[in-house]
Protein backbone atom coordinates (compact mmCIF):
# COMPACT_ATOMS: atom_id res chain seq x y z
CA UNK A 1 0.00 0.00 0.00
CA UNK A 2 1.58 3.34 -1.00
CA UNK A 3 2.22 6.11 1.49
CA UNK A 4 0.10 9.18 0.87
CA UNK A 5 2.14 11.57 3.06
CA UNK A 6 5.50 11.77 4.81
CA UNK A 7 6.04 9.83 8.01
CA UNK A 8 4.86 11.63 11.13
CA UNK A 9 7.16 12.07 14.11
CA UNK A 10 5.41 9.20 15.88
CA UNK A 11 5.75 6.96 12.80
CA UNK A 12 9.47 7.75 12.63
CA UNK A 13 9.89 6.77 16.28
CA UNK A 14 7.88 3.55 15.90
CA UNK A 15 9.79 2.29 12.86
CA UNK A 16 13.13 3.37 14.32
CA UNK A 17 12.50 1.54 17.59
CA UNK A 18 11.29 -1.57 15.79
CA UNK A 19 14.45 -1.57 13.70
CA UNK A 20 16.54 -1.07 16.81
CA UNK A 21 14.70 -3.42 19.19
CA UNK A 22 13.39 -6.08 16.82
CA UNK A 23 9.89 -7.50 17.27
CA UNK A 24 8.17 -5.47 19.97
CA UNK A 25 4.62 -4.72 21.02
CA UNK A 26 3.36 -1.11 21.25
CA UNK A 27 3.32 -1.01 25.05
CA UNK A 28 7.05 -1.76 25.14
CA UNK A 29 7.65 0.85 22.44
CA UNK A 30 5.86 3.43 24.56
CA UNK A 31 7.95 2.53 27.61
CA UNK A 32 11.20 2.94 25.68
CA UNK A 33 10.00 6.28 24.26
CA UNK A 34 9.14 7.49 27.77
CA UNK A 35 12.47 6.33 29.17
CA UNK A 36 14.24 8.38 26.49
CA UNK A 37 12.13 11.48 27.09
CA UNK A 38 10.35 11.38 23.72
CA UNK A 39 7.21 12.70 25.39
CA UNK A 40 8.99 16.07 25.68
CA UNK A 41 9.02 16.55 21.92
CA UNK A 42 6.18 14.45 20.58
CA UNK A 43 2.59 13.86 21.64
CA UNK A 44 2.89 10.42 23.17
CA UNK A 45 -0.52 8.99 24.03
CA UNK A 46 -1.51 5.36 23.91
CA UNK A 47 -4.24 6.16 21.38
CA UNK A 48 -1.88 8.01 19.05
CA UNK A 49 0.69 5.26 19.31
CA UNK A 50 -1.78 2.46 18.49
CA UNK A 51 -3.31 4.51 15.66
CA UNK A 52 0.17 5.02 14.21
CA UNK A 53 1.01 1.32 14.54
CA UNK A 54 -2.22 0.36 12.76
CA UNK A 55 -1.62 2.87 9.97
CA UNK A 56 1.99 1.72 9.48
CA UNK A 57 0.81 -1.90 9.34
CA UNK A 58 -1.82 -0.98 6.73
CA UNK A 59 0.89 0.74 4.70
CA UNK A 60 3.07 -2.37 5.08
CA UNK A 61 5.87 -0.36 6.69
CA UNK A 62 5.67 -2.63 9.73
CA UNK A 63 4.12 -6.09 10.12
CA UNK A 64 2.65 -8.15 12.93
CA UNK A 65 4.87 -11.09 13.81
CA UNK A 66 2.93 -12.76 16.59
CA UNK A 67 0.90 -12.33 19.73
CA UNK A 68 1.79 -12.92 23.34
CA UNK A 69 -0.47 -13.45 26.31
CA UNK A 70 0.82 -13.18 29.87
CA UNK A 71 -1.41 -14.11 32.78
CA UNK A 72 -4.75 -12.31 32.78
CA UNK A 73 -3.52 -9.60 30.43
CA UNK A 74 -5.00 -9.26 26.94
CA UNK A 75 -3.08 -10.54 23.95
CA UNK A 76 -0.36 -8.23 22.72
CA UNK A 77 0.68 -8.18 19.10
CA UNK A 78 4.37 -7.73 18.41
CA UNK A 79 5.48 -5.88 15.28
CA UNK A 80 8.67 -5.56 13.29
CA UNK A 81 9.82 -3.05 10.68
CA UNK A 82 9.66 -4.12 7.04
CA UNK A 83 12.32 -3.30 4.47
CA UNK A 84 9.93 -0.73 2.99
CA UNK A 85 9.48 0.77 6.46
CA UNK A 86 13.21 1.02 7.08
CA UNK A 87 13.69 2.64 3.68
CA UNK A 88 10.85 5.12 4.39
CA UNK A 89 12.38 5.86 7.80
CA UNK A 90 15.82 6.54 6.37
CA UNK A 91 14.43 8.72 3.58
CA UNK A 92 12.32 10.80 5.99
CA UNK A 93 15.08 11.23 8.58
CA UNK A 94 17.53 12.26 5.85
CA UNK A 95 15.03 14.80 4.53
CA UNK A 96 14.37 16.24 7.99
CA UNK A 97 18.08 16.49 8.80
CA UNK A 98 18.97 18.39 5.64
CA UNK A 99 15.93 20.69 5.43
CA UNK A 100 15.02 23.02 8.32
CA UNK A 101 11.34 22.64 9.19
CA UNK A 102 9.05 25.62 8.82
CA UNK A 103 7.76 25.43 12.38
CA UNK A 104 5.44 28.00 13.88
CA UNK A 105 6.03 28.23 17.63
CA UNK A 106 3.36 30.26 19.38
CA UNK A 107 5.93 31.93 21.66
CA UNK A 108 7.31 33.79 18.62
CA UNK A 109 3.88 35.35 18.10
CA UNK A 110 3.54 36.24 21.79
CA UNK A 111 6.96 37.85 22.03
CA UNK A 112 6.42 39.74 18.77
CA UNK A 113 3.33 41.33 20.31
CA UNK A 114 4.60 41.68 23.88
CA UNK A 115 5.09 45.43 23.39
CA UNK A 116 1.33 45.80 23.94
CA UNK A 117 1.84 45.04 27.64
CA UNK A 118 3.56 47.17 30.29
CA UNK A 119 7.24 46.48 30.90
CA UNK A 120 6.83 45.42 34.57
CA UNK A 121 4.23 42.84 33.56
CA UNK A 122 6.46 41.53 30.77
CA UNK A 123 9.32 41.11 33.22
CA UNK A 124 7.04 39.27 35.66
CA UNK A 125 5.69 36.96 32.94
CA UNK A 126 9.12 36.26 31.51
CA UNK A 127 10.41 35.52 34.99
CA UNK A 128 7.69 32.86 35.31
CA UNK A 129 8.78 31.52 31.92
CA UNK A 130 12.34 31.25 33.25
CA UNK A 131 11.07 29.27 36.24
CA UNK A 132 9.15 26.87 33.98
CA UNK A 133 12.07 26.49 31.59
CA UNK A 134 14.41 25.83 34.52
CA UNK A 135 12.11 23.05 35.70
CA UNK A 136 12.03 21.57 32.20
CA UNK A 137 15.82 21.78 31.97
CA UNK A 138 16.17 19.98 35.32
CA UNK A 139 13.71 17.29 34.21
CA UNK A 140 15.61 16.73 30.97
CA UNK A 141 18.87 16.50 32.91
CA UNK A 142 17.28 13.97 35.28
CA UNK A 143 15.86 11.89 32.41
CA UNK A 144 19.20 11.93 30.60
CA UNK A 145 21.04 10.89 33.74
CA UNK A 146 18.59 8.02 34.32
CA UNK A 147 18.79 6.85 30.71
CA UNK A 148 22.57 7.03 30.68
CA UNK A 149 22.77 5.20 34.03
CA UNK A 150 20.55 2.48 32.53
CA UNK A 151 23.09 2.09 29.74
CA UNK A 152 21.28 3.89 26.90
CA UNK A 153 23.79 4.83 24.22
CA UNK A 154 24.14 8.56 23.54
CA UNK A 155 23.00 8.09 19.93
CA UNK A 156 19.57 7.09 21.27
CA UNK A 157 19.36 10.22 23.40
CA UNK A 158 20.18 12.84 20.77
CA UNK A 159 16.57 14.07 20.73
CA UNK A 160 16.73 14.78 24.46
CA UNK A 161 20.13 16.45 24.10
CA UNK A 162 18.73 18.63 21.32
CA UNK A 163 15.69 19.54 23.43
CA UNK A 164 18.05 20.46 26.29
CA UNK A 165 20.05 22.73 23.97
CA UNK A 166 16.84 24.47 22.87
CA UNK A 167 15.65 24.97 26.44
CA UNK A 168 19.08 26.27 27.50
CA UNK A 169 19.14 28.72 24.57
CA UNK A 170 15.60 29.85 25.42
CA UNK A 171 16.62 30.42 29.04
CA UNK A 172 19.67 32.43 28.03
CA UNK A 173 17.69 34.56 25.57
CA UNK A 174 14.81 35.14 27.99
CA UNK A 175 17.12 36.10 30.88
CA UNK A 176 18.91 38.56 28.61
CA UNK A 177 15.58 40.08 27.53
CA UNK A 178 14.53 40.49 31.18
CA UNK A 179 17.85 42.21 31.88
CA UNK A 180 17.49 44.50 28.86
CA UNK A 181 13.97 45.55 29.87
CA UNK A 182 14.91 46.12 33.52
CA UNK A 183 18.00 48.17 32.67
CA UNK A 184 16.17 50.01 29.87
CA UNK A 185 18.63 48.80 27.24
CA UNK A 186 15.47 47.95 25.38
CA UNK A 187 13.21 50.93 24.82
CA UNK A 188 9.69 50.13 25.99
CA UNK A 189 6.86 52.56 25.30
CA UNK A 190 4.29 50.79 27.46
CA UNK A 191 5.72 51.33 30.95
**Closest Cα partner for 122 from 177, 166, 168?**
177
CB 43 within 8 A of CB 11: no
Q: Which residues pair with 63 in a beta bridge?
A: 80
pLDDT tens by residue, 107-146: 999 999 999 999 999 999 999 999 999 999 999 999 889 8
How many angstroms separate the CA atoms of 168 and 173, rounded?
A: 9
| pLDDT at residue 87, as a whole number | 96
* pTM of the full structure: 0.74
**Closest Cα partner for 15 from 83, 62, 49, 55?**
62
Cα-Cα end-to-end distance for the chain = 60
How many angstroms separate the CA atoms of 153 and 160, rounded?
A: 12
pLDDT tens by residue, 21-60: 899 999 899 988 888 778 777 888 888 999 999 999 999 9
Amino acid sequence: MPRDRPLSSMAIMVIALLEEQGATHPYELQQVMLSRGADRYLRLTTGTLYHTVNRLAEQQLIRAVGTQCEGNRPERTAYEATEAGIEALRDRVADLLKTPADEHPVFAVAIAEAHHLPAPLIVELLQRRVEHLSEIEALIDSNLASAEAAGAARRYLLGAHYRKALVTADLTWTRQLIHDIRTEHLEWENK
